[in-house]
Every structure is written in structure tokens, then in C-alpha cells.
């Protein structure tokens, strides 16, 4: 029997790349999204790989709709093995110029959607004592940037929720894995769809990565769960800067204001914050000429732990050696 994966926001960009990679590798796939036309296109695209596909129209900010979608997947496809919380929406604007309604909506679609998806999956996974839940996050959940305060806050919240829930599952000895995949700037249509009231177009600063690299990291995490996964060297650099020099990281991030905007003025965009934006089901955005096509630039928390253990061992050896030198040569007792 084919394993079963659910991908929210699976009709474009990273979500579509992930759903397609699951299907290519023999999984049955359920996709949850708002736009019915893109859902139909996505279903046709995935069915071509020969596995069952379920396309469900739902707003992931609606907890009841997400719960109903999970029930339908279990009923029509079977037990869910992996649930990927990928859906998001954002607004590009200075924090003090974002309305309360926009803050609320970004929080609902980017944070609460992951809560609702996680709870819907747990309802079925927990009694079976198996399953993998993957939260798709961002380097901006590690090092926040200007013009994206609602999105950054929502992604930070995802980490807090996931870490707290993971502790509870460990306490209850529940063998359902919780993973967070932190992503860099990625060449997806989202840069065309985001609500933007800055007077300039949104731009993806270098380096920009291929959505298929992100899909590879997500699907690999579903197969072999890891606590955390970092995609792209830019995310590692953001993590290191935030840990070791947060003040410097603030100043470097401040310089990202202009790097996120086009030089030429552009009209404001309503974007897909409250309603889906029409358009085809496609993976790639408009930055293909600058996209890094590597398929191997991601690292897991297990590799980090190994590296830290190795550094710790080297440090310990160095400390013992330094201590021995400080004590001087060992004096043997005189012969009697």
C-alpha cells in the first residue's frame, strides 16, 4: 500500500514541488488549497505519476475545514503517514503601516494554519502512535527582517508551538515526529502574489534557491524525520549571526530593506492575503535566471549535533593537553 502525504498550499511553488516529489516517489497525495482551478491542474499533474490524488478546496485558516479535510483523506485515501504544513500568506510593508486586519490574517494563514493542520493530523496519528508532521518555516523565523514583521512573527510562533508540543509528545511517549524545515529565499510565484503596499515591487535577494531543493528536504524529512532542517547556506549564516552577534545581525538585516524591493516604483498589490490570486499551478517564479539549482544544500540537526560533538571532543582534547602542559612533566618517584 502506498504511503499517504498531505500538503497544504500544494498548488504552487514549494508546495507543488513537494506534492509532485511525493507522487514521483510512490506516495498517494492529498493537496489542500483555496483556488479550485489550480487544484484541478495540480490533481491532473500528480495523477500522471500513477498514484491516488485527492484535491481538497479549503482555507487552512479555518480550523473546522482543515479537520474535515483530514477526515476526508483518512476516509478516501487511508491512514495519513506525513502531513506537511506549507501554506502561508504575507504582506510587505513597514510594521507600523500594517493594519490590524492584515496582522490577523497573516497570523491565521501562516501560524494558526500550522496549528490547525498539526492538530488535525495528530487526531489520527496519535492513536496509531506513528506519523510525521513537517512544519515549513523560514530563515526569517531565526533572524527577522524589515518589511515582514507579521510573517516573521508568525514563523517564530510556529517554532514555539512545535517545540512545546514536541515536549508533550515525548512526555506522553507518542512516536509521532515533529520537524521544522527552515527555508531561504526561493524562486516561487509568491513574490508575485504577496500583498505589497510599499510602492515598489518585491524582490528576492541573493542567493535564491530552487523550490525542488526545498521539496527534497521536506520529503526526505518525512521519510527520515529530523528535529530541524536548514536549507541553503544563507539560513545557516542567519542562524550563526543571530546566535553569536545579534546586534550586528540587526544592522545587517536593516540593510535588507532596499534589497527586498525593486528600484522601479510599482503599484500596490492586494495580493493573495484574503483571496487567492488567479494563475496556473506552477513551481517556479520570475527569478529563474538567478536560481541556484543545487539539490544538496541542506543540513539537519543531526549533522549539527555531530559537528558540535566533534568540536566538543577536539576542545576536550585541547583542554587536557593544555592542562598537562601547565602541570609540567610528570616526575617519577625515586628508586629505592
- Mind telling me the catalytic residues? 151
3-state secondary structure of 181: strand
Q: Are strands 298-300 and 53-57 parallel, antiparallel or unpaired?
A: unpaired
Reduced to 3 DSSP states, what percent helix, strand and coil does the chain have, rounded to the nearest 5?
50, 20, 30
Chain mean position to CA 289: 23
Residues sharing a CB contact under 8 Å with residue 263, sequence separation 6 or more, in sequence order:
200
CA atoms of 248 and 260, how far apart (whole Å): 19
Q: Are strands 261-265 and 200-202 parallel, antiparallel or unpaired?
A: antiparallel
DSSP secondary structure of 45-108:
HHHTTTS-EEEEE--TT-HHHHHHHHHHHHHHT-S--EEEE-----EES-GGGS-HHHHHHHII
**Residue 91, CA distances (Å) to 56, 102, 105, 219, 235 in order:** 25, 7, 10, 28, 21
CB 10 within 8 A of CB 88: no
Amino acid at each position: 500500500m502506498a504511503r499517504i502525504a498531505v500538503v497544504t498550499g500544494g498548488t504552487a511553488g514549494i508546495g507543488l514541488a513537494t506534492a509532485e516529489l511525493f507522487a514521483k516517489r510512490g506516495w498517494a497525495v492529498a493537496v489542500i488549497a483555496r483556488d479550485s482551478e489550480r487544484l484541478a491542474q495540480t490533481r491532473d499533474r500528480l495523477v500522471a505519476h500513477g498514484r491516488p490524488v485527492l484535491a481538497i478546496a479549503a482555507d487552512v485558516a479555518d480550523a473546522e475545514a482543515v479537520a474535515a479535510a483530514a477526515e476526508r483523506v483518512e476516509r478516501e485515501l487511508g491512514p495519513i503517514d506525513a502531513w506537511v504544513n506549507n501554506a502561508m500568506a504575507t504582506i510587505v510593508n513597514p510594521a507600523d503601516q500594517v493594519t490590524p486586519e492584515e496582522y490577523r490574517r497573516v497570523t491565521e494563514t501562516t501560524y494558526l494554519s500550522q496549528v490547525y493542520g498539526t492538530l488535525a493530523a495528530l487526531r489520527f496519528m496519535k492513536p496509531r502512535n506513528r506519523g510525521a508532521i513537517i512544519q515549513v518555516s523560514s530563515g526569517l523565523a531565526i533572524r527577522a527582517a524589515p518589511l515582514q514583521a507579521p510573517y516573521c512573527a508568525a514563523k517564530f510562533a510556529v517554532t514555539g508551538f512545535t517545540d512545546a508540543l514536541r515536549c508533550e509528545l515525548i512526555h506522553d511517549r507518542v512516536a509521532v515526529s515533529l520537524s521544522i524545515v527552515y527555508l531561504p529565499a526561493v524562486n516561487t510565484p509568491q513574490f508575485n502574489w504577496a500583498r505589497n503596499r510599499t510602492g515598489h515591487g518585491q524582490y528576492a535577494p541573493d542567493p535564491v534557491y530552487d523550490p525542488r531543493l526545498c521539496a527534497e528536504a521536506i520529503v526526505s524529512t518525512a521519510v527520515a524525520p529530523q528535529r530541524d532542517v536548514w536549507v541553503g547556506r544563507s539560513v545557516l549564516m542567519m542562524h550563526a549571526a543571530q546566535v553569536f552577534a545579534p546586534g550586528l545581525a540587526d544592522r545587517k538585516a536593516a540593510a535588507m530593506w532596499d534589497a527586498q524591493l525593486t528600484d522601479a516604483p510599482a503599484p500596490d498589490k492586494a495580493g493573495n492575503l484574503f483571496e487567492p490570486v488567479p494563475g496556473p499551478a506552477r513551481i517556479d517564479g520570475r527569478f529563474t535566471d538567478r536560481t541556484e539549482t543545487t539539490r544538496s544544500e541542506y543540513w539537519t540537526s543531526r549533522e549539527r549535533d555531530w559537528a558540535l560533538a566533534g568540536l566538543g571532543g577536539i576542545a576536550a582534547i585541547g583542554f587536557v593537553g593544555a592542562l598537562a602542559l601547565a602541570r609540567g612533566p610528570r616526575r617519577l618517584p625515586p628508586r629505592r
